[in-house]
């Protein structure tokens, strides 16, 4: 584990203030958002790993990273923030989340959509990724709360 402090995964679109139990922005659970600053680095790392695992699962179902070095170079060149220690699939998410309306050719970034998504607009792919990532996070939350014997809303 890196010795650098773990920053919050918050992206400034918190929906927990509106009553969501899972944030539509960062996909953390409400209690994780509220208690984040009190967590030690190990707990933060566990949460970040869960989010990364879910996101990579969703991303792999939509696209392939063909050239991680090219993707990284493009992100750095365009000054798009990404976590170098995370999977290149997380890097691809950062690119698509910020540039879906501007990108014409994914291959220029070392990426390729899977055949079933090649006719989709990149905005639609981005939205599908975000919706599926949120749905998986909600399902994970419900599974954890049931396992702890808490009522799931």
- Per DSSP, helices labelled H in the chain are 30-35, 41-60, 68-77, 88-99, 122-147
Amino acid 132: pLDDT: 97
For residue 63, list its beta bridge partners: 113
Domains contained in the chain, number: 1
Residue 49 resides in a domain: yes
Residue 84 resides in a domain: yes
Amino acid 19: pLDDT: 73
Residue 45 resides in a domain: yes
Element housing 64 (H / E): strand 63-65
Sites in the chain below the pLDDT cut of 50: 1-2, 152-153
Residue 6 resides in a domain: no
For residue 21, list its beta bridge partners: none
Amino acid 71: pLDDT: 98
Residue 22 resides in a domain: yes
Q: Which domain holds residue 130?
A: 16-147
Query: If you compute the radius of gyration of the chain from its CA atoms, what whole number of angstroms results?
Result: 16
Amino acid 7: pLDDT: 77
CB of 22 closer than 8 Å to CB of 28: yes
Residue 104 resides in a domain: yes
Q: Which two tokens stand for residue 114?
A: 């899977």
Residue 153 resides in a domain: no
What pLDDT, in 10s, does the model give residues 93-132?
A: 999 999 999 999 999 999 999 999 999 999 999 999 999 9
Amino acid 4: pLDDT: 58
With left for phi above 0 and alpha for psi between -120 and 50, is residue 101 left, alpha or beta?
alpha
> Following DSSP, what letter does each residue of 108-126 receive, concatenated?
GGTEEE-GGGTTS-HHHHH
Amino acid 145: pLDDT: 76
Count the neighbouring beta carbons within 10 Å of the beta carbon of residue 75.
Answer: 21
Amino acid 151: pLDDT: 53
Residue 7 resides in a domain: no
């Amino acid at each position: 584990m890196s010795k650098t402090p773990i920053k919050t995964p918050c992206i400034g679109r918190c929906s927990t203030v509106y009553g969501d139990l899972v944030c539509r922005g960062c996909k953390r659970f409400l209690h994780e958002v509220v208690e984040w600053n009190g967590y030690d680095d190990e707990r933060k790392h566990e949460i970040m790993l869960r989010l990364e695992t879910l996101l990579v699962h969703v991303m792999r179902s939509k696209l392939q990273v063909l050239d991680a070095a090219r993707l990284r170079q493009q992100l750095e060149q365009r000054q798009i923030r990404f976590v170098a220690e995370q999977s290149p699939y997380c890097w691809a998410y950062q690119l698509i989340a910020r540039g879906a309306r501007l990108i014409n050719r994914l291959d220029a970034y070392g990426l390729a959509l899977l055949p079933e998504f090649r006719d989709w607009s990149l905005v639609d792919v981005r939205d599908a990724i975000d919706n599926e990532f949120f749905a998986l996070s909600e399902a994970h939350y419900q599974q954890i709360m049931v396992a702890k014997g808490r009522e799931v809303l």
